[in-house]
Structure 1
Amino acid sequence: MHDIVEEFEITFNQIHQHLKELNGYPKNDNFVELLQHSKLKHSVVRVHFDQLKQYAKLRNAIVHERISGDYYIATPHEDVVHHLKSIQKILEQPPEALTFATRPVLFFKTSTNLLHIMEAFSKHGISQFPIYDDSHHFAGLLTNDGIVRFLAQTTENGGNPALHVQASDVLGYEKHANVQFLSATASVFDLEERFEKSLNEDKKLKAVILTKTGQSDDLPMGIVTTWDLIKVDRREQDIS
């Protein structure tokens, strides 16, 4: 009994430390308060929030309501310790952001003919493509909405407005898209932080493009949108 209680306490304290780290080591490091803040940003906490709150009550009963010596008012079940360890493991070694990205990334050059890109929209059912110049510098995100705006404003002249148009010609019709870049080896926590920060700043993040170095002059290895973040929640629910 003493061993399982000790195992529970050690694992719980490790999770508490991870929560402090995720929240920048705030002055108020109350476990439940940290849970409340963390669940807004991170799926692993959000999915296991209610269970972790219950484990906190159990931990308080073990630590503060011990009757004497090794005689505890409550002791954790083996399944509880096992589950707590699985949560701690994810917090300690979160999966890479690339795990949840759409890949491989289909992208085009600024010189690519618009008709070719429109065919790709239809064939792959994708609503946006990264566009790069010949030096592999990111030029912008070309979306189906941008193409519609371009066509709407150029059809007045008659003919096929897309026949001799390049991707670079259409980018000027795109509304400013908030796109950020992140290293492909970054954790899913880093990824979620990017989206959370953009939400707090009222700057909707259209996509996070993952590259080898996290710089925009590297070719994309994966792309993540808000829809892809749903995969994170689903994965954690499957684990639980």
Structure 2
Amino acid sequence: MNEIVEQFEVTFNQIHQHLKELNGFPKNDNFAELLQRSKLKHSVIRVHFDQLKQYAKLRNAIVHERISGDYFIATPHKDVVEHLKKIKQTLDQPPEALDFATRPVLFFKEDTAITHIIEAFDQHGISQFPIYTKERNFLGLLTNDGIVRWLSQTMVDGHARLEDITPKEVLHHEKNTNVEFLGANATVFELEERFEKSLDEDRKLKAVILTESGSPDDLPMGIVTTWDLIKVDRQEDDE
């Protein structure tokens, strides 16, 4: 077989295998179908979707429309093969979730004065902070929306008492408490799967917190929101 054609087919088949894996090895393992499904879930596939779709047509022409022996109706250009190999390499070694996380993570303990945290919202331009017990157990995610909600429900005659108020008291007013945890060495694919699964289950995932072991009781190394996922697409577009 023509060497350039062989490289193209081998690489294409390896990418096809990745798509099967990303979709849980479904019975229908048609490349085009897997590509479409993967596009909805994974940024790497989204960015390369159009190219992979065209490469699939080229592959079908090579496999199904061979004229004779090593004489093919179409032969991939060397640049096409090199680009296909780059896509395959990205699937082999996907970026780490930590690359797209906000870090370092500023967090507070349950007995921190709420006035101090309110100042931190303004000073750091961050909209949410993880809260931990004195034993470093995760209590919840305190957001600026949660504080506003707490204020609106506790104000009397236009005034609210902030003295001696701690985040533990305010956490009860958080509307969305859905937070999940992943190990710091997780891939961006695993990260995206968490958000995709939450959508499938009709529950909005507020954030994914990355810790060394993936345990909620480890201190946070990074935090990812849906806004951070936009950075995944942008980074891929730049490459």
How would you bin the TM-score normalised by the shorter chain? over 0.9
1:138 paired residue number: 138
Secondary structure of the corresponding residue to residue 29 of structure 1 = coil
The one-letter code matched in structure 2 to 1:132 is Y
8 Å CA contact 1:147–1:173 kept in 2: the answer is yes
The one-letter code matched in structure 2 to 1:230 is I
1:47 paired residue number: 47
Structure 2 CA distance for aligned equivalents of residues 133 and 238 of structure 1: 41
2:91 is equivalent to residue 86 of structure 1: no
Q: Which moved more, 1:219-228 or 1:162-171?
A: 162-171
Q: Which moved more, 1:59-68 or 1:157-166?
A: 157-166
Secondary structure of the corresponding residue to residue 67 of structure 1 = coil
Secondary structure of the corresponding residue to residue 41 of structure 2 = coil
2:38 paired residue number: 38
Structure 2 CA distance for aligned equivalents of residues 113 and 200 of structure 1: 38
Could you state the TM-score of these two structures normalised by the residue count of structure 2? 0.97
Secondary structure of the corresponding residue to residue 172 of structure 1 = helix
> Mapping of 1:137-176 within 5 angstroms?
137-156=137-156, 161-176=161-176
1:58 paired residue number: 58
8 Å CA contact 1:151–1:162 kept in 2: the answer is no
Secondary structure of the corresponding residue to residue 220 of structure 2 = coil
Structure 1 CA distance for aligned equivalents of residues 227 and 155 of structure 2: 33
Shift, 1:163, TM fit: 2.3
> Mapping of 1:171-190 within 5 angstroms?
171-190=171-190
Structure 1 CA distance for aligned equivalents of residues 78 and 227 of structure 2: 36
Shift, 1:154, TM fit: 2.3
8 Å CA contact 1:110–1:166 kept in 2: the answer is yes
Could you state the TM-score of these two structures normalised by the residue count of structure 1? 0.97
2:27 is equivalent to residue 8 of structure 1: no
Percent identity of equivalent pairs = 73
Secondary structure of the corresponding residue to residue 182 of structure 1 = strand
8 Å CA contact 1:183–1:211 kept in 2: the answer is yes
8 Å CA contact 2:121–2:144 kept in 1: the answer is yes
Secondary structure of the corresponding residue to residue 156 of structure 1 = coil
The one-letter code matched in structure 2 to 1:39 is K
Shift, 1:157, TM fit: 6.7
Query: What is the RMSD of the two structures over their aligned residues, measured on CA atoms?
Result: 1.3
Runs of 4+ more than 4 Å apart: 157-160
> How big is each residue's C-alpha offset from its partner over 1:140-180, in whole Å with a ceiling of 9 and x where there is no partner?
11011111122222221776511221111111121232100
8 Å CA contact 2:154–2:160 kept in 1: the answer is no
1:204–1:158: structure 2 CA closer, same or farther, 3 Å change rule?
closer
Q: Which moved more, 1:223-232 or 1:166-175?
A: 166-175
1:211 paired residue number: 211
Shift, 1:68, TM fit: 1.1
The one-letter code matched in structure 1 to 2:65 is E
Secondary structure of the corresponding residue to residue 48 of structure 1 = helix
2:135 is equivalent to residue 121 of structure 1: no
> How big is each residue's C-alpha offset from its partner over 1:96-127, in whole Å with a ceiling of 9 and x where there is no partner?
10010000000000000001000100001111
> Mapping of 1:99-114 within 5 angstroms?
99-114=99-114
Secondary structure of the corresponding residue to residue 175 of structure 1 = coil
The one-letter code matched in structure 2 to 1:140 is G
Structure 2 runs not aligned, ≥5 long:
none
2:75 paired residue number: 75
8 Å CA contact 2:11–2:85 kept in 1: the answer is yes
